[in-house]
Structures are given as structure tokens and as C-alpha cells.
Amino acid sequence: MYSVHLDQAHFLAQNDHPVLETTVGSVLRARAKAMPDAEALVEADIAGVLRRRWTYGELAAEAERLARALLSRYRPGERIAVWAPNVPEWVLLEYAAGLAGLTLVTANPAYRPRELQHVLEQSGSVGLFIVKAHRGNPMAEIAAEVAAQIRAVREVVDLEDPSALYAGEGAAIPLPEVSPDDPVQIQYTSGTTGFPKGVVLHHRGITNNARLSMTRMGLREGDAVLNVMPLFHTAGCGLLTLGAVQFGCRLIVARLFEPARALDIIEAERVEFVLGVPTMLVALLEARAAQPRDLSCVRTMGSGGAMVPPELVRRVQTAFGCAFHVVYGQTETSCLLSVAAADDCETVGQPLAQTEVSIRDPQTNAVQPIGAVGEILARGYGVMLGYNDDPEATSNAIDADGWLRTGDLGTLDAGGRLRITGRVKEMIIRGGENLFPAEIENVLLEHPDVAEAAVVGVPDARWGEIVVAFLRPATVGPLDRAALVAHCRERMSPQKTPAHWIEIPEWPLTGSGKVQKFVLRDRFVAGEFESART
């Protein structure tokens, strides 16, 4: 971590690690040359059974073979979409597209026809790579139906059919020169506040961000890394996949996150590094409590993608006996902006190398004082090229000086540590006072009867907005609301105590595991939930 003393909420980029001129293809080639016989990729099937394995030499050879097959059907610069769960062919396609100069469009395998059609049309994809089905979603049927309506889509390819995937491989086509500045992926943001926009990322951003993030988290050469994060998300195909290759790690790709199976894999493969969103970590803790295992191999765990409550961090550290890093970032920054020290569960840590962060007043854009809440702005190598075919949204997000407005609220302390207090659009204004959901959620999660919590603001005639808490109980039976109110009053000023308490059996989630708070808010306003007013 850096030794700094800030006098205002502006963290200058640190230059202790360089930005390298790398591409997705170049990092694979470099690792295959250095460690051709080291194990690179392991398949965990839908049941969690370990199947196929590739060395780095084999993975690079397969990726180049597939790249040439793709170039027999597509031109460099064209866009191809991948709509599939975590299968090894997804990773192969990622590397092959990178080597061929194609832009990979990532799509959530849970999409329904309307969502898939939007992504294909908005991205201008000319090919669609799929599996037949996933978790009851008839993907082959949907793909055929949707592709028939989009003239630009030239083919639908089953990733698990080698003859279709490698069609045209016999052509002697040279691989193009690919620049670190070239677009590499279009990822559709998680959509916690509505339908997502297409974020255009570049090679330099996602390769360097993975390396610098994993450096901060202490990944070691040869570590076994379990990837249960969805590959269509920047944490899955960027941070974990491209981080693992640059450290010569063994990447275990799990087709489906099932907590008990994940623990079995960790124990059997002696996994050292695990990353998951908070909902995944809660599920792992519950599975471990139900069936203890030898998990002493785990050295590091991390979480982000949503607010990571300090109490959850402490529970994981106690249960696994490992270091834990809270991380923060977003798709628009090629993944991570900051990583906390292993002994820090109260902040999301200092910004990564080569990343500049500033806290600004959302109205005036003035740099905030130390400790004052404002919008988090970021600048550096990892900022996206823009939103696909949406110059207005791009200019609203990135100013003339290259600063990205993240839409997140937070603070910086004098030591350069960043705290997240919520989203600009999620901030609750009750009676003219700004309330921040993260603070209230963290207090609620300190109560032993609360497993998970999400706090939103809803309209109120008297106060403008009031606080509503959605809770998943940690115990059987109804929650004691009076006890929860007393718990909140003891730890926060009265106006922060929720006015409504809603017990919910499961969350509406994005594909990457974030709680869709706007869905909870809309359902509450529509009168769907019965509640008790405190």
C-alpha cells in the first residue's frame, strides 16, 4: 500500500508499476512460451466434476487454431457474441477472438429473447456462439428464433460442436497485428438501475487491470484459482482469466456456481484463490457450516461487485482462516479501481497503480474535502473507450479531461483509502438530509439474525423519501422488528432507522450477482409487499 497524506479528496496516480503494451493474445503467447507444460485451464462440469485439462502450450495452440478458423469466416474488427455459461470453449473463444482482432460481445446466458435481441442488434454482432441450453433456458431455440430476425447475424455456432466451432480451420490465414488500443470486448453493464449499455473495452485496459489487481491481492505463480464468477462479466473473463494467465496460474472454470460443489473443488484441487460477490460468499459459508471440509489451502479470498459488509468479511476470515481483500470497480474501468489491504474490512482500499481517483461534488464538480461524501471520479489507462454507438451517454460519463463519472458515492480519507456510501441515484434524501444505504446495511448485518440486507428509499408525502430495509433472515422464523429497531437506534441517528421491514426469501439479481435494488423499490411502490411501519 502507498504512504500518502492527502489534504483534499484527490488521489494522484502512483507509478510504482508500469502500464504494459499488452493484448489478450500477447499475454497468452508469453505465458505459453515461458511455461508450456504448466497446467493452465481445468473444466468443472455442471455437477462440479473435473473433466478436461489444458497446459499453457496446448491452450495457446488451440487458441491460434481457433483464431485462424474464425478469420476464415470473419474480418478483423467485426463483432461476435458469446452467449454461454462458464465452459472452457468460452475462454478459448476469448483468446482466439483477441488473436484474430475480433471484438467479443459478452451476453448473460440467462437472457430471454428480447434481451438477447437487444444485445445482438445494439452491438452489431455478425456471429453468435452458444451452448444448447443452460439451467432450463433453451438457448439454441432462442438463438435460432432471434438470429432469424437480424440480417447481420451470419451464423449461430454451438461452442460444444468442434466441427462447427473450427469450421474453415484449414485455411492458411495469417493472424493480424493487434494493437493494445484496439477494442477487445463489449460488455453489457449489470443493469442494477435499468437495461444495460454496451461498454467498449480495449486490450490494454483489461490486461493491465488484471495484472495490477492480482499483484495487489498477492496472487502467486502457480496458484490454483477457482472461477465461479460469470465469464460474461469483467471479473470472470478479465480479472480472473487474464490475471491467472499473467501469473501462470491454474484456472478452474466452473460451469455453474453451486456452493457445496465449489467447496468440494477447493478441497480436492487445493485452491489458493477465490473471488465471489457477497451473495456467493454467504452461500459458501452456509455450505461449509452444513458440511465441514479441509479448506486450509485457501490463502486469499476477495469480494466486490456490491457492498461488502465488514461483518461478512470477518465471518469469512474466521471460517477460512485466510486473507481477505475487499475490491471496488466497475465494467467501465476494465474492472477494478481499488483493492483494500488484507486487514482492512472498513474501506475498499487505495486506488491501484496508474489510477487517479477524485471525490467531487455532484452539482459543482468541485473536489471535496477529506471525508466528505461526493461522486467518485476515475482517470487512467483502464477507462473504457466509450458506450457502444452512444456518444451522448459517453460524453455524459467521460469529461474532456478524461475523468469517468462512476455514478458511485464515496469518501477518501487522508491515507487515500476509499469508502463507498452508495449510488448517486440510490442516495436517500429524507427531510432534506442525505442518507446512504451502505451505512444502514452494514449496521443491519451486524445483527446476528440478519443474513443479507438491501436498503432503498421510497417516496413519502411527509419526508420526501423514507428508508425501507429488505432482509433475508439468518434464522428460522420471523424477525423481531422491535429488536432490529433498537439495534439501529443504538448505532445510528434515529432518521436512519428503516420505516419498513420486508423479509424476502430470495433477491432479484443481475447476472453477476448484484441485488437489483430498483426492482425491489418498484415492487414496493406497486404495493406488492406487506410491511409494518416502525
363, 388, 412: which is the final residue of a domain? 412
**Same domain membership, residue 477 and residue 348:** no
**Same domain membership, residue 474 and residue 333:** no
**Same domain membership, residue 403 and residue 469:** no
Q: Provide the CATH number for the domain around residue 148.
A: 3.40.50.12780
**Same domain membership, residue 110 and residue 15:** yes
**Same domain membership, residue 370 and residue 250:** yes
> What is the pTM (predicted TM-score) of this model?
0.84
Task: Tell me if 66 is assigned to some domain.
Answer: yes
**Same domain membership, residue 233 and residue 285:** yes
DSSP string, 446-474: TSTTEEEEEEEEEEETTTEEEEEEEEEES
**Same domain membership, residue 126 and residue 75:** yes
Question: Given this model, what pLDDT does residue 534 score?
Answer: 45
**Same domain membership, residue 337 and residue 458:** no
Other Cβ atoms closer than 10 A to 343: 8
Task: Tell me if 5 is assigned to some domain.
Answer: no
361, 380, 412: which is the final residue of a domain? 412
Task: Tell me if 271 is assigned to some domain.
Answer: yes
Question: Given this model, what pLDDT does residue 439 score?
Answer: 80
In angstroms, rounded to a whole number, what is the distance separating the alpha carbons of residues 262 and 527? 38
**Same domain membership, residue 463 and residue 349:** no
What would the pLDDT profile of 418-428 be if each residue is shown by its tens digit?
A: 998 877 777 78
Residues of the chain with confidence (pLDDT) below 50:
191-194, 532-534
**Same domain membership, residue 321 and residue 434:** no
In angstroms, rounded to a whole number, what is the distance separating the alpha carbons of residues 241 and 69? 22
**Same domain membership, residue 143 and residue 229:** yes
Q: What is the domain count for the chain?
A: 2
Question: Given this model, what pLDDT does residue 531 score?
Answer: 52
Question: Given this model, what pLDDT does residue 195 score?
Answer: 56
Helix/strand/coil for 27: helix
Residue whose C-alpha cell reads 435494488 in the numeric block: 517
Task: Tell me if 534 is assigned to some domain.
Answer: no
- DSSP letter, residue 185: E
Question: Given this model, what pLDDT does residue 532 score?
Answer: 45
**CA separation (Å) from 244 to 184, 254, 270, 468?**
18, 15, 16, 41
Question: Given this model, what pLDDT does residue 190 score?
Answer: 56
Q: Provide the CATH number for the domain around residue 442.
A: 3.30.300.30
- What range does the domain containing 159 cover? 10-412
Edge-to-edge strand ranges of the sheet holding 374-380? 10-11, 355-360, 374-380, 404-412, 418-423
**Same domain membership, residue 81 and residue 152:** yes
Reduced 3-state DSSP string for 470-527 = EEEECCCCCCCHHHHHHHHHHHCCHHHCCCEEEECCCCCECCCCCECHHHHHHHHHCC
